[in-house]
Amino acid sequence: MRWLLVLVVFCHAGEAWAQSGESGATATGVSRKFNPAISLNGLFLGSGFSGRSEMQGQEGEEGEEGLESGMRVQEIEFKFTAAIDPYTSADFVFTYEDGEFGLEEAYVSSGILSHGIGLRAGQVFVPWGHENPLHAHQLPFVNRSLFAQAVFGGEALSEFGLEARWVPPLSWFFELRGAVFNGDDAALFSGPEEWDLAYHGGFDALWDVSEGGTIALSGAYLGGPNASGTAEGAKWSHLGNGVLRYKWVSPRRPQSRVLDVVAEYQYAEREAGMMEEQGIRRGAYGYAMLKFARRWWIEGRYDALNESGASADTQRASFMLAFVPSEFTALRFQTSYVDTPEDQFVEYLLQLNFIIGSHPAHNY
Amino acid sequence: MHVEYATKRLLPLVAICAVVSAPLQAAEVRVVATTSDVAAVFQRVGGERVEVTTLAKGYMDPHYLQAKPSYIVSLRRADILAYNGLQLEIGWLPLILQGARNNKINLGQPGHVPMSVRLDILEIPIGEVSRAQGDVHPEGNPHYTLDPRNLIEMASTAEAALVRVDPEGGSIYAGNRAAFVTQLQEQIPIWERKLAPYRGRPIVCYHKQWEYLLNWLELVPIDYVENRPGIPPSPRHVEELERRMREQGVPILLSSTFIDSDQLERLSEKTGAKLLVLPAAVGAEEELDEPVAFFAHLVEELAAAFADGSSD
């Protein structure tokens, strides 16, 4: 509820400034020109299933988004962005989901460091892999990969920490980053020592292979002591991934001709204590998105998850058709065939994705 | 032994670094321009002292450029970022500017140059602005580079920016600007005379991007195929527009090279209006790589289209 209070205060402040007239100045001389850019993203979701066993149909595992049939608010996201001063800017992202308000991201970024170095401090989506840094409304499909559902609970992994990025002076894009996080995620980290942290390192490289085409390669590591360790002997969780991406945007028809092909391999290992089993999870997915008309695109994805101790792999094949009437609305229909060790079923998801407020810049 | 070993292995590495960083040692001032029109003005004023990189080439729609990380590489090295502004680049420029982490070109720095500052901006919305009106630009119509008179002011903005970051080149920039402005001032009356017979004639445009050109030439845009900016038109609107165009005998249906023309060809056939697809920026076609040639081409094409319409 405290996030609700924060939102109410923000909105009330904005309204008070807005009522101060066209000049934008209040009686105290405060200008609303300095208000943060505010946007709201809404995701409404309808879901249904066929071929699923009764038991599976009644209760989905935590984080398996869309396992309950029916219609609901999938997520409402509120974003506030502004420069704090000439040296720093701040971003806050709050969400309303499953009847609760929460903080997804709250960070301060440096803007003045030279030599291509940037710093970020606060609560952030860990920049691990292709999907994790994306908010729900930015995801290429309605739900995250099977690996993300199993390891991160279907949500992005969000941690508090300090991150540094460096773009060396090369003639192609290459970025190195490193970060130290608090390691609060109970399933992955939460080491026994007070100062047990999680450590992240990664890179992104991108080459222009034609005027409209790029190839991107990225990799990342995230690791830290987990709760299975003791003061005498730490046990670590290790996560690694590699992403290969080809994207082509027609230079003359960017609104109606886009091809995006992504493949990602994901790995997670949780070292275990004496009485526990070591857990290893491997995931891989590949998807292709084709925008073939100004308002339409189609997507296909194959997704697999291998878990130590499971009798068989979990696999999923998804198809999506999206109708995009404007830059600010998308209606997406996704159907998936899901094959788990326990069950096979078909999933139908219909999502309305919309934004109001400040015009956001679009990620590549 | 160790020195020799290290030298043998380090020399190729140093050579590779030298090759990949070679572009870093080129001109006195590195300018990154978001559009080809802005780039053309800086090229004319800066001459050989500047290296100008264009992000949205003339044949690309600057509304919808993708924020490619490779643009960050250009911005990372820039001394000046010159942009159109009025939210034309809002969908992509903030991300690459943030990613570049180059303080020389951040807001408030000498290298941060919005090119619209000295201009009279058309169609600044009055009263409430809502997305129900389409993808409106709340600061006004951003396509001001389609009036050649605005290039004169833009040249002054470019000169001031270049002098700020490279005072030693001041006299060169002043000379280049004066030559460019003189050339424009000589040509503008010629272009105006060429289209004077058609003043007041109605035109239908696809997108709200030709206002500055039409305002300069005193032509009258009576309606738009895309009646709400950025939103494809409804069949009902196109039907109504078709009726109006026939009734008013609209001679020209104007669009740009980065718009799909299938629907416009059908509208042209049904109404008898000539479909005129013009380049909307310098460099949209290979031979139109500088402003004077570009405007001469626009004027020639418009005059020919009106003449065609009159003879029909």
Record the tokens describing residue B246, joined without a space. Answer: 């026939």
For the cut 70, the answer to whether the pLDDT of residue A9 exceeds it is: no
Which residue bears the tokens 């396992």? A67
Give the gap in angstroms from C-alpha B233 to the nearest C-alpha of chain A: 11
A19 pLDDT band (50/70/90 cuts)?
A: very low
B72 shares contact with chain A (CB less than 8 Å) = yes
Which residue bears the tokens 């059908």? B266
CB pairs under 8 A between A and B: 113
Secondary structure percentages of chain B, helix, strand, coil, to 5: 55, 15, 35
Residue A363 covered by a domain: no
Query: In this structure, how many other beta carbons lie within 10 angstroms of the beta carbon of residue A298?
Result: 13
A99, A116 Cβ separation under 8 angstroms? no
Tell me which of A304-313, A323-332, B123-132, B157-166 is least confident: B123-132
A327 and A344 in a common domain: yes
For the cut 50, the answer to whether the pLDDT of residue A57 exceeds it is: no
Contact B73 A214 (CB under 8 A): no
Residue A68 covered by a domain: yes
DSSP B156-167: HHHHHHHHHH-G
Partner A, chain B 95-154, Cβ-Cβ below 8 Å:
95, 98-103, 106-108, 131, 134-135
What's the rounded Cα separation, in Å, for the pair A135 and B289?
Answer: 41
Q: Average pLDDT in the A37-51 region?
A: 94
For the cut 90, the answer to whether the pLDDT of residue B112 exceeds it is: yes
Q: Which residue has the higher pLDDT, B105 or A116?
A: B105
Predicted local confidence at residue B133, as pLDDT: 87
Which residues have a Cβ under 8 Å from the Cβ of A241 and sit 6 or more positions away? A128, A129, A219, A220, A264, A265, A266, A267
A49 and A9 in a common domain: no
Contact A214 B102 (CB under 8 A): no
Residue A362 covered by a domain: no
What's the rounded Cα separation, in Å, for the pair B294 and B54?
Answer: 17
Tens-digit pLDDT profile for residues A131-183: 999 999 999 999 999 999 999 998 999 999 999 999 898 999 999 999 999 99
ipTM here: 0.82
Distances, alpha carbon A253 to alpha carbons A128, A278, B9, B152, B224, in Å: 32, 51, 47, 31, 20
Give the gap in angstroms from C-alpha B217 to the nearest C-alpha of chain A: 28
For the cut 90, the answer to whether the pLDDT of residue A55 exceeds it is: no
Which residues have a Cβ under 8 Å from the Cβ of B252 and sit 6 or more positions away? B201, B203, B204, B273, B274, B276, B302, B305, B306, B309
Record the tokens describing residue B51, joined without a space. Answer: 């290296």
Q: Give chain A's length.
A: 364
Contact A362 B95 (CB under 8 A): yes
Which residue bears the tokens 């460096």? A166
- The gap between the terminal CA atoms of chain A, to the nearest Å, is 35
For the cut 70, the answer to whether the pLDDT of residue A214 exceeds it is: yes
Which among B76, B93, B108 has CB closest to A167? B76
A290 and A178 in a common domain: yes
Domain residues for A193? 36-357
Partner A, chain B 16-45, Cβ-Cβ below 8 Å:
20-24
Residue A85 covered by a domain: yes
Residue-wise over B105-141: b if at least 16 C-beta within 10 A, else e?
bbeebebbbebbeebebebeeeeeeebeeebbbebbb
B49 shares contact with chain A (CB less than 8 Å) = no
Which residue bears the tokens 């038109």? B233
A16 and A41 in a common domain: no
A261, A246 Cβ separation under 8 angstroms? yes
A91 shares contact with chain B (CB less than 8 Å) = no
* Widest pairwise Cα distance in chain B: 91
For the cut 60, the answer to whether the pLDDT of residue B22 exceeds it is: no
Which among B57, B93, B101 has CB closest to A251? B57
What's the rounded Cα separation, in Å, for the pair B225 and B254?
Answer: 10
A130, A262 Cβ separation under 8 angstroms? yes
Which residues have a Cβ under 8 Å from the Cβ of B290 and sit 6 or more positions away? B40, B43, B44, B282
Which residues have a Cβ under 8 Å from the Cβ of A16 and sit 6 or more positions away? A26
Tens-digit pLDDT profile for residues B181-208: 999 999 999 999 999 999 999 999 999 9
Q: Average pLDDT in the A85-109 region?
A: 94
A215 and A330 in a common domain: yes
Percent of chain A with pLDDT over 70: 86
A100 and A13 in a common domain: no
Predicted local confidence at residue B9, as pLDDT: 56
A3 and A108 in a common domain: no
What's the rounded Cα separation, in Å, for the pair A39 and A36?
Answer: 10
A226 and A192 in a common domain: yes
Q: Which residue has the higher pLDDT, B249 or A301?
A: A301
**How many domains are there within chain A?**
2
A204: which chain B residues are within 8 Å (Cβ-Cβ)? Answer: 69
A216, A244 Cβ separation under 8 angstroms? yes
B4 pLDDT band (50/70/90 cuts)?
A: low
Predicted local confidence at residue B26, as pLDDT: 56
Nearest to A327 by CA among A350, A355, A299: A355
A85 and A187 in a common domain: yes
**What's the CATH number where A250 sits?**
2.40.160.10
B263 pLDDT band (50/70/90 cuts)?
A: confident
Predicted local confidence at residue B34, as pLDDT: 98
Predicted local confidence at residue A6, as pLDDT: 52
Q: Average pLDDT in the B3-32 region?
A: 59
Query: Helices B36-46 and B148-165: crossing angle, nearest 10°?
Result: 60
Residue A364 covered by a domain: no
Predicted local confidence at residue A62, as pLDDT: 43
Contact A326 B230 (CB under 8 A): yes
Which residues have a Cβ under 8 Å from the Cβ of A53 and sit 6 or more positions away? A342, A343, A345
Contact B101 A114 (CB under 8 A): yes
What's the rounded Cα separation, in Å, for the pair A202 and A164?
Answer: 11
Predicted local confidence at residue A275, as pLDDT: 67
Q: Average pLDDT in the B122-145 region?
A: 90
The domains of chain B, with CATH numbers, are: 11-189 (3.40.50.1980), 190-311 (3.40.50.1980)
Predicted local confidence at residue B11, as pLDDT: 52
Which among A208, A294, A361 has CB closest to B67? A361
Element containing residue B79 per DSSP (H, E): none
Contact B76 A111 (CB under 8 A): no
**Sign of the CA dihedral running B125, B127, B133, B138:** positive
Q: Are β-strands A198-208 and A213-225 bridged in parallel, bridged antiparallel, or unpaired?
A: antiparallel
Q: CB-side exposure of A347: number of CA atoms within 13 Å?
A: 31
A146 and A16 in a common domain: no
A118: which chain B residues are within 8 Å (Cβ-Cβ)? Answer: 101
What's the rounded Cα separation, in Å, for the pair B254 and B267?
Answer: 11
B91 shares contact with chain A (CB less than 8 Å) = yes
Which residue bears the tokens 């206002």? B211
For the cut 80, the answer to whether the pLDDT of residue A105 exceeds it is: yes
A131, A170 Cβ separation under 8 angstroms? no
Tell me which of A229-243, B49-63, B140-154, B165-179 is least confident: A229-243
Q: Which residue has the higher pLDDT, A112 or B170?
A: B170
Residue A229 covered by a domain: yes
Q: Average pLDDT in the A214-236 region?
A: 92
Which residue bears the tokens 């230079």? A251
B310 shares contact with chain A (CB less than 8 Å) = no
A58 pLDDT band (50/70/90 cuts)?
A: very low
Q: Which residue has the higher pLDDT, A229 or B194?
A: B194
Residue A276 covered by a domain: yes
Record the tokens describing residue A136, joined without a space. Answer: 């729900």
Secondary structure (3-state) at B291 = helix
A53 and A22 in a common domain: no
Strand partners, A351: A45, A332
Give the gap in angstroms from C-alpha B248 to the nearest C-alpha of chain A: 30
What's the rounded Cα separation, in Å, for the pair B299 and A183?
Answer: 65
A230 pLDDT band (50/70/90 cuts)?
A: confident
Contact B72 A167 (CB under 8 A): yes
Cα nearest neighbour of A22 on chain B:
B127
Distances, alpha carbon A26 to alpha carbons A12, A13, A17, in Å: 14, 12, 7
Predicted local confidence at residue B261, as pLDDT: 83
A40 and A25 in a common domain: no
Nearest to A35 by CA among A73, A80, A97, A92: A80
Which among A175, A252, A360 has CB closest to B60? A252
Residue A17 covered by a domain: yes
Task: Output the 3-class SS for chain A.
Answer: CHHHHHHHHHHHHHHHHHCCCCCCECCCCCEHHHCCEEEEEEEEEEEEEECCCHHHHHCCCCCCCCCCCEEEEEEEEEEEEEECCCCEEEEEEEEEECCEEEEEEEEEEECCCCCCEEEEEEEEECCCCCCCCCCHHHCCCCCCCHHHHHHHCCCCCEEEEEEEEECCCCCCEEEEEEEEECCCCCCCCECCCCCCCEEEEEEEEEEECCCCEEEEEEEEEEEEEECCCCCCCCCEEEEEEEEEEEEEECCCCCCCCEEEEEEEEEEEEECCCCCCCCEEEEEEEEEEEEEEECCEEEEEEEEEEEECCCCCCEEEEEEEEEEEEECCEEEEEEEEEEECCCCEEEEEEEEEEEEEECCCCCCC
A21 shares contact with chain B (CB less than 8 Å) = no
Predicted local confidence at residue A272, as pLDDT: 86
A63 pLDDT band (50/70/90 cuts)?
A: very low
